[in-house]
Amino acid sequence: MISKYLLPVFTLVLISCSTKQEQITNSTEPATAEAISFSGKPLFAAPVDSAVLAKADSTINAIRTKGDLTEEDYILIGQQLIGSNRFKASVDNYTEGLLKFPDSFKLLRHRGHRYISIRQLANAIADLNKAEELIRNQPDVPEYDATGHETGTYQHWIWYHIGLYYFLNQAYIQAAPAYEKCLAASRNDKNIVGASDWLYNTYMRLNESDKAQKLLEAITPDMDTDREHPYFRRVMLYKGVITPEELVDVNQDPAKTSVGDVTKMYGLANWYAYQGDKERATKLYEKIVQSESGWPGFAYAAAEKELTNTGK
């Protein structure tokens, strides 16, 4: 019996790897939207360099020629699809894997993440809650990127995305404990910074500024992490280490605004809002959703929600 957590089940037409690659690389059909924004706007994938696309397809085809795919194979395929901006295809891939491994907390975690990317929040939380149930009594399970580098634990990332689900729904009372568990499950400074940033924003929206400021004490300018990462830079702004102008150029061309810049702008917009400058915050949220390629970023989704909930 197929688990209820696989609903809605996608109809997957499995074709030969060579035919699949030809369809991906040579199709002349108009592009279809990868997602529909919370405001109802279609969101399209940014163009991918032909060499990057060819390498991703080659890797996918090599994996699929093995025949009997494992959980990890589906994860690797998903990473290649995401790396080439094929978000809906990654969800279909994880769904295919879950038909074979219905109790895979790994595949549920990844599909839940990408359901958020394509703005299907109800499906996302169903997957993430099930993943959390399956992993609840297990020791830390490391997670790796496409290069084999550990990015944290499944526990950390499951709670990270559960927290994000509640944050996007403005259910901050539920988001706070999720991010607290995410932070507790962090195994490196980069994870600590990311979890702390979202938790800081959650506390601020709950009017718990003392807890928010206390949280930032552990994030220092000389921390052993990527000091140019958007979340680290945002935290440095919150702490007063850098100025808004040092964080991001808010006047840049929307056509050139990256996911990283969108992430910085969202932190800055929130910072303005917490200081009572709602007008400047709203203008930045509006600037964010003008980005042509930044929509896969969670900050873009959060900015959409800010504007949707204020009638913009």
Q: Residue 305 in contact with residue 285, Cβ under 8 Å?
A: no
pTM of the model: 0.89
Residue 20, CB half-sphere, CA atoms under 13 Å: how many?
Answer: 18
Residues near 297 by beta carbon (within 8 Å), at least 6 away in sequence: 259, 260, 262, 263
pLDDT at residue 150 above 70?
yes
| Residue 143 φ/ψ, nearest 5 degrees | -120, 145
Q: What is the pLDDT of residue 289?
A: 95
**Tens digit of each residue's pLDDT (9 = 90 or more) over 56-107:** 999 999 999 988 999 999 999 999 999 999 999 999 999 999 999 999 999 9
In this predicted model, what pLDDT tens digit does every residue of 119-148 receive, in sequence order? Answer: 999 999 999 999 999 999 999 999 999 999
pLDDT digits (tens, 9 = 90+) for 201-256: 999 999 999 999 999 999 999 998 888 999 999 999 999 999 999 999 999 999 88
Residue 222: CB atoms within 10 Å: 6
**Which tokens hold the place of 27?**
């199709």
Q: What is the pLDDT of residues 18-39, one digit of tens each?
A: 333 333 333 434 579 999 999 9
Are 197 and 268 in contact, with CB atoms under 8 Å apart? no
Q: Is 19 strand, coil or helix?
A: helix
Phi, psi of 147 (to 5 degrees): -95, 0
Do residues 300 and 289 lie in contact, with contact meaning Cβ atoms separated by under 8 Å? yes
